[in-house]
Structure 1
Amino acid sequence: MPHSAFRDPPGDDTPRARILLVDDTPANLLSLEAILEPLGQELVLARSGEEALRELLRGEFACILMDVQMPGLDGLETARLIRARERTRYLPILFITALHREAAFITKGYAQGAVDYLLKPVDPDILRTKVQVFVDLYVRGEQVKRQAVELVERRRAEEAAQRASELEQQLMGIVGHDLRTPLSVVLTTAKSQLSSGALEPAQQKAFERVARSGERIQHIVDLLTDFTRSRLGDGMPVMPRAGDLNEVCREVADELQVARPGRLIRCDFSRDSLHGVWDLERMAQVVANLLDNALKYSPESSDVRLSTWEKPDVVFLEVHNEGAPIRRELLPHLFEPFRRGDASRAQARTSLGLGLYIARAVVEAHRGRLTVRSSEAGGTTFRLCLPRRADARPPVSHASEADGAPAPMSA
């Protein structure tokens, strides 16, 4: 048979058509199957009109090739029943028969819904060509359906994204103004009373609790505000200016030491100063989040190490802590919002799971990278790789980060 008489099998993305072959003679079914197999479609065989009706209940078909003369339900009656069903009313039917060449009989076949009437012996090339037309129509129809479904899903996704964006903007307004304003009044009042020096011991404790709770709420408001900002527009906003990263590290470490007098944060800097152009307030936030995380998830008796070193256009900062490693299955999701590590119940109550997410957002806004490695033997280390200028090109690859990194020495 010439290759041009039929198409190549459909590709992976093209839906396959199902073709129903109906004949009570097995040899005829085998002959039809051999003729149509090169089309690369799914061929379903039925040996009676009743069996054909059952197959039509199980799935969709591109067309039906059906013998007219069959015992029980003949082809014409089967076609009438097919046309009576809403789902199969317009399904193309091609009659194949060696008998009844009279015009009246053929007209009756067309009246029952046939789209063609082929007399045996059927020319294989002509049969494949006719069937290919209905296969192409079916495939195009399925592709249109698929595109319509994809379009509906895309519109739903866009509408959901729009609603999420509107909700985030509303959240930004709530946490940025509606909560912050009354909270500042509460904190100002509590601190004013505490500084007055005229409180009874019970009142002193009460206002201390109010101040601590207010500061905790203030911290949550700041986290939610940063989270919402990072999700809107182009990410976390930063305002770079010249400054010393080591000085920022010392100030943050001193503040955390005061808050946790039983813990030791050891600063190992390769140089006394580490100058660059960054948003220093945001970098202080990153360092604080990393140090707080290290203190939270390490043994009370262990130290936390904060290290910095530099290359010509890139600076590095590491925060290392000892203790149990981060579980392997948590590592790919560690920087996702509202994710927590293996926290105790008390730690879970004091954490929103936004610290690392915001830290990475700030670092990426500086065109830097924040990564983590964790093992039983080596503990957990967060590494920050940062261009010396926030508007510089992205830093070097991970491989070059590790190569030639000078051993930090004590400041």
Structure 2
Amino acid sequence: MPGTLPLAVPRARILIVDDQDSKRLGLAAALEPLGQEVVMVASGREALRHLLTGEFAVILLDVQMPDMDGFETARLIRSRRQTETTPIIFVTAHDRAEADMLGGYTLGAVDFIYSPVRSEVLRAKVNVFVELHLKTLTVQAHERRLRELESRQAQHELAKLWGAIAQSADPVMITNRDGVIEYVNSAFERVTGYAAEEALGQTPALLNAGRQDAVFFEGLWRTLLGGEVFRGEFINRRKDGGEYHEEKTITPIRDEAGRITHFVATSQDVTYRKQMEAQLHALNASLEARVRERTAELEDVNSELEAYAYSISHDLRTPLRHIGSFADLLARSSGERLGDPGQRYLRIIQDGAVKMEALIDGLLDFARTGRSELRPQTIELPRLVQEIIAELPGADAATWEVRDLGTVCGDLLGVRQVLTNLLTNALKYAHPARTPHIELWTEAGEHEQTVHVRDNGLGFDMTYGHRLFAVFQRLHTEAPGHGVGLAIVKRIVTRHGGRIWAESVEGEGSTFSFSLPGGPPSPPGE
């Protein structure tokens, strides 16, 4: 009709509240296919400021935030009349789910999303509230538009409005103030199985499956008669007796005097989604059981390996010590009568026994690094490095350049062993033609701290660098050692969730670097 302005198709606003940039951007990327307006903020206070200026279909709220956590933010949101019914979905870690759910539902959470977030699950949950919000906005916009139309154009617009509602893919039901059904659309008939003539004049109790108690309905009517929008989940019964899950938004409609005259209920059948969630919960429970079984199996294997290691220690050491002891007795009692060849053979036996015992010790040390429990703490590197250097044999013969050392987070004994082994190697593989010069410094990254140890020693050929951190692998045989120290270093760093690498120029020196997870500590007062 000429002169008629079409209603604009609204876009729902989704508010993401998380103090971590990566998580905000990840959530926003997952929601992008919905085609709605996504607003991202980094704190609860920013979220409250945005809520003062506009309406949001749903809020994704991180539980763990500094300054003002998700629960405190939700409490303030619920305290405002304009936002007390805005759906809140808490985002929390799996290992905190049970504790967070109790507090979250107390504050009116409608759902939880667990990290790491699955994009399809997130979109499915958010889309429910987006669609309900958009339907509510559409109905409200039409209701306001109807009050303004006073001419034949108004009748035409009214016809279009009813056509849109009638042809909506989701059920729409309109009741009077007393709850008597005055209108249902075709989607209502399709979902419930009741024809319009069977539903008109009835109340929504027609669909009641008896799964909601009296307290639920008392809260529903208290909300609606107070003039507020009610959002909730219903378990209803179809005409054929089958139950189905329904997400419903019920909006009070007021007349020009502000009196509530009708209620408009828009809903969505979410039975399939609930079935998928039930299957997902069952799968998670199955996976958790498998993890527990696997953990028990690994504990059994570790116990067996520990017993095997001690068995090796005892069973190999005893004959080895016999060899060494009898070789020493032979040297003392008959060494002069053996002659030069015999004495040389005897020394080879003695040296081999000593080397074999050292290899057994190294193997046991390597095995122990995988069993000890890590106790992370903040470590002051300058003090630790000074203590290690003071205890190193031959440290006085080297020059040391220690700069820009900060703090790292890790197990104190483990980090001490890593630094001790690296500094010991720097002294052990010094170049015979020059004074050892050893440098230490750290670099602070966004998600890790890196420690560097550089020397001017023998260096090594990078072609064989892949063998550097393997057990019993040595690139230099002129210095004492058995090829276990760097393997232990790698295992300790890996257990911390870090990484280790080396760069070298043969004959000029090497730089060993290892990184531990966790960004630089926050300055005091933050």
Indicate whether the TM-score tops 0.5. no
What TM-score bracket applies, with the shorter chain setting the length?
A: 0.3 to 0.5
Larger relative CO (CA 8 A, sep 6+): 1 or 2?
A: 1
Larger strand proportion of the pair: 2
